[in-house]
Amino acid sequence: MAEALADLVVAAPGGMAPEIASPRVESLVDMARRRIAAGGVRRRPVLPLGLPGRMNSGGLLPTGPGLRGVQTFAIGSSSERQAAHTQDGRPSLR
């Protein structure tokens, strides 16, 4: 995903960029709780925050065609991380 964003930054202006997204929908609250549970982060309460309008009901999710990454927040083992990369070691954007 970072490589795709970097390519967009250095490319000539070309209008609207394609949507770039994770391969699945993630909850920020769940991701924060998993990160704290994994250790290395000070334990703090994690509370959901309701946002107004469409932001609370998937309004920021991609709706059109575009790049979808393969690595999810949950990938943790080295074999899973390796499977999510190309042969040259760079992240895959399948």
Q: Which of 29, 39, 31, 74 is nearest to 84 (CA)?
A: 74
Could you list the pLDDT tens digit for every one of the 94 residues in the chain? Answer: 788 888 889 999 988 888 888 888 888 888 888 888 888 788 888 888 887 777 777 777 888 888 888 877 775 544 444 555 555 555 555 4
Cα angle value 69/11/9 (rounded, 5°): 60
Residue 86 pLDDT: 52
For the entire predicted model, the pTM comes to 0.56
Residues 59 and 56: their CA atoms lie apart, in Å, by 7
> What phi and psi values does residue 18 have, to the nearest 5 degrees?
-70, 155
